[in-house]
Structures are given as structure tokens and as C-alpha cells.
Amino acid sequence: MCQEFSVSRDPVSQYCAGMEPVTRSCLVIVDVQRDFCDDQPGATLGVRFGGKVAGLIGDHLRSSIDDYDLLVVTGDWHVDPGPHFSESPDYRDSWPRHCVAGTIGATWHPQLEAALSDVDGRLPTVVIRKGSHQAAYSGFEGFEGFEQSERRSLDEVLRGASIGSLDIVGIATDHCVAATAIDALQLGYSIRVLGALTAAVDVGRGAECLAALAASGAVLEGAPPS
């Protein structure tokens, strides 16, 4: 047993005799789903620049695939998320219906779908779905596959693959991207947020979230689209 590993996950202490160093890298693509992209017909919660960012993320995946050991793609997958949906949403804690399980709005943006198809088989890929029966902003609240029972959480997936560092991109900066990044930092991962590959519901709040993440130890690279 390695006591140090169980106590602390800071990068220096992640080396244990006989264990593989936790230094592998993962790209985490957060919620690039049609309902969140402003260029998609019928998107119920289209985020400005969502479509642009989806294309840029696809390009990044193709061009930088060799930088990563694992790809994680997260998505909302709402069956009955309670007050997360509202007829009179406040756009902070309640929202119009979006990413309902099994609907086209919950599918990946076509440009992400195309990129995933292009790199199929070149990088181990795990889909994490979240929010079936409650609000779930962070990917770390989600599980592999469609059903929660006996599925691995995102943290279990990452630990199982000896991942130590994450590049985080996606939608929306001020909600699911920020929540995922905060949880990652608290769980001890090194993270980099690729700002050019993020889109915010509220651009001002998105900038505040990125600044707060930087103050908490995240590396920020690139500026959000404007």
C-alpha cells in the first residue's frame, strides 16, 4: 500500500514504488451537444459561439490526438431532472428543457461527431453521461454509459487509466466546464483549460470563472471566442 497516494494526489507525491506514475493526459470535452449550440436548428439552449467552438474542438481533437492517452466526452442526459427544467427558467439554476435522453438535442454537435468518427480507434474513449434524474453540472457527477448502477464514475475512469492531467474544453464555461474543472482540481488533477475552445452562457461570468480557476491552480491557455 502507498499511504502517500491515498492521502495526497499532488503531482509530486503520485509516485509510488511499483506503481505506474500518474502522469498520463486526458482531453475532456464537456457537453458539446446540439441543444447547447447556437448554430443548430431547434437548439433549446443554444450558447453563443457554441457551434464555432464545436468545430474548433473537432479540429483540436484531430490535430492533437497524439498529446493524449484518453478521451472523455461528457453530456447531459436528462430523463426527469426535476427543477433543473422550468417553464420559467432563471438561467442560473433552472433551464428550458434540454438534452433530453434519446432526443437529437442530446446528440453531439455534428462537427464533434465527425471528428470522433475520424479518430475512432486511435484513442481510448469514454462517454460520461450525467443528470438523468437531477441537475448535474460537473462531469464528475456522471457515469460511464447510460445507467448509473455498476458503472464507473469519471474519477474512477481517470484513476483507472493513470491519468494525472486534464485538458478541459466545451460548453458552457460558466456552468458545466467550470464545475468539472473545479472538481478536477479538488480531486488533485493538474488541469489546463483551453479558453479558445470554450463558450459561455454569460460571457462576463465565463471570464470570472476562468479567472477563478486560474487563481485555484488551473493553467489557462487561449482566450474565449468573441
Residue ranges that bind Zn ion, judged by CB under 5 A: 76
Query: Has 130 been annotated as catalytic?
Result: yes
Of 36 and 49, CB closest to Zn ion: 36
Query: Has 31 been annotated as catalytic?
Result: yes
From the number of C-beta atoms within 10 Å of its C-beta (0-12, 13-18, 19+), residue 150 rates as exposed
Q: Among residues 130, 167, 174, 209, which one is catalytic? A: 130
Query: Has 176 been annotated as catalytic?
Result: yes
Residue type present at position 107:
T
Q: Among residues 99, 176, 183, 209, which one is catalytic? A: 176
The set of cell numbers assigned to 218 is 488551473
The set of cell numbers assigned to 147 is 445507467
Backbone angles phi, psi at 68, to 5 degrees: -120, 150
Query: What residue ranges in 45-187 does DSSP mark as E strands?
Result: 70-76, 125-130, 143-144, 163-171
CB of 148 to Zn ion, least distance (A): 16
Contact present, 188 and 216 (Cβ < 8 Å): no
- Cα distance between residue 226 and residue 218, in whole Å: 22
Which residues on neighbouring strands pair with residue 75, listed in sequence order? Answer: 129
CB of 54 to Zn ion, least distance (A): 17
Residue nearest Zn ion, Cβ-based: 76
Of 131 and 195, CB closest to Zn ion: 131
Of 76 and 144, CB closest to Zn ion: 76
- What is the H or E stretch that residue 197 is in? strand 190-199
Of 96 and 124, CB closest to Zn ion: 96
CB of 78 to Zn ion, least distance (A): 6
Q: Among residues 26, 31, 174, 183, which one is catalytic? A: 31
CB of 71 to Zn ion, least distance (A): 22
Which residues carry out catalysis? 31, 130, 176
